[in-house]
Chains A and B, each alone.
Chain A
Amino acid sequence: MYGNGYIENDGKPVNSLTVNEDPIKLAAFEARIAAGDKIEPQDWMPAEYKKQLIRMMEQHAHSEIIGALPEGTWITRAPGFRRKLALMAKVQDEIGHGQLLYSAAETLGKSREQMTNDLINGKSKYSNVFNYPAKTWADSAVIAWLIDAGAIVNQLANSKGSYGPYCRALERICAEESFHLKYGHDNVVFLATGTPVQRAMVQDALNRWWEPIMHFFGPSDKESIHTETLMRWKVKMGSNDDMRNMFLDMYVPKIWDLGLTLPDPNLHKNEETGRWEYTEPNWEVFKQVINGNGPCNKERLAVRRKAEENGRWVRKALMKPEEKYVNPLA
C-alpha cells in the first residue's frame, strides 16, 4: 500500500536534475524511455534518476512494512475464522511486498540493511497514512478497502513506469492488492449493512480516515519544480491531483451506495469538468505528520526498532564472514 512519493527538490534549480550529465547519453536514455523501453539495473541512467528511484522504492517498501503494523494489531482480534484467515493472509502479503520492493531497490545498490537503518533512524520516509491509529475493527476494514484502493490507483500507474525491476514488482503487487480490496470491500459491506453498532462503527472509522485518505495522494504537484522531468523519465506517472481524482471517481459513489456519508459537505463531482471538487484537506497537518508529529510516528518506529534489535542475534548468526554482499540482478 503506498501513496504518491514525496519528491524532494532540495531547493535546487529546475535544470539541476540533468546539469552534470553527458548530453549524448542523456538523449539516448530519454529516447529509450519515450519509445517505451524499460531501463534495467546495468543500463546507463542519470544520477538523479537513480536517486529518485531508490527513494521511491525504498519509501514504498517501508510503507508496506510499517503498514503491516496498524492492520496487524487486528489479526489477533478478527471476528471469526473467515476474517481471521483473510486478514492474516492480507498482512502477510504486505510484508511480502516489502521484501519484493527492497529487492527492487537493492538492484540500484542500496542494501536492505542500509534502508532499514535509514527507516528506524528516521532518515527515510514512509506513507503518512500509517501514522494514524487503527482504533476499531472497522478501521482495519476501511484501510483494507480504501487505502488499498488508493494504492492500486497509484501503483497501476507506476507499473507503467520506466524502471524494469520496479514495474515488475508492482505488477505482482497490484494483482495481490486487488484481492485486498475485495476483502476490504466485503468487510465494509458487512459492517454497513449489519447491526446499528456495526454501522456506527464503520461510519466513525470512515469519518476519521477521510482526511488521511485525501492526504494519501500527496499535495498538489504545482509546487514541485521537478515534476516535469520526472514525468518525462516515467519516474512519476501522474499528478497527485489526477490520482486523487481517479480515486474519488471510482470510490465515492461506492461509499455513498452503502448509505455511508463522508465528512465533507463540499464533496461533489463537477459534471462539466468531470473533476471532483472538495474541501482542500489541511496540508499543514500533512506536513506535521510527515515531519514526525503524527499520532503514531514514534510508536511505529519504536516497534520497528525493537523488532530490529530483538532479531539482531538471528541475523548475525546467519552472516558468513566469507560471503560478500551482491546486488540482486532484477
Chain B
Amino acid sequence: MIPRSQNFRGYLGGWFSAETDLTLYIEACERVPAWLAEDNRGLTEFRDELATHIRESSLPPRHNDSQWGTDEWLRDIWFDAFGPEPAPGDPYPVPAVQWGRVRLTDYMLHAVDEDEEGSSDGATAWLAARGLTAQGVYDAISGDTVRRPEPDGYAEHLRRLTEAGLREQLP
C-alpha cells in the first residue's frame, strides 16, 4: 500500500506516537477495546492500514532505521494496540510466546511495573487481555531479548513487493 492515508498519519503521529507523548500512547493502547466496541471508524481504518503496512513493508523506514527495523516497530505497535493475534497476513508473525518475555514493547517498558504504584491504571486489564502478568513483564526487563534479524530472503521479498507496486523503492 502506498502512500499512507491522512487518517493513518493522524493516528501514527498522534495517539500512537510513543516518541511524541508516552502518556497519550498508553491511553490510546488502553482505550482500543472501548473504541472498537463503539465502532470507531477512524480507528478500525487505522488498524486495517497498519496491518497492510506490516504485510507489505510499505511504511518508509524511520530515521536511522532499516525497513526491517521499521516493520518490527509496527508489529510492536500492533501488539500494544490490538493484542496478541498477529496482524492479518503478516508474513513474519512474532511467535506468541516471545511477547512480554523476550520481546518488550513501549507499553511494557513504560506502563508496567511490579507494583501498582508504578503502573498505569489500565495496565491490569491490558496485561490480562494479552495473557501476561505484571511480575512476568517486570522480570523480563532484566532478562534476555530476542531481536529478530532480517529473515533469509527478506531483500528478495521486498523486491517482489516493490515490483508489484505495493511499496516504494528505497533510495
A binds B: no
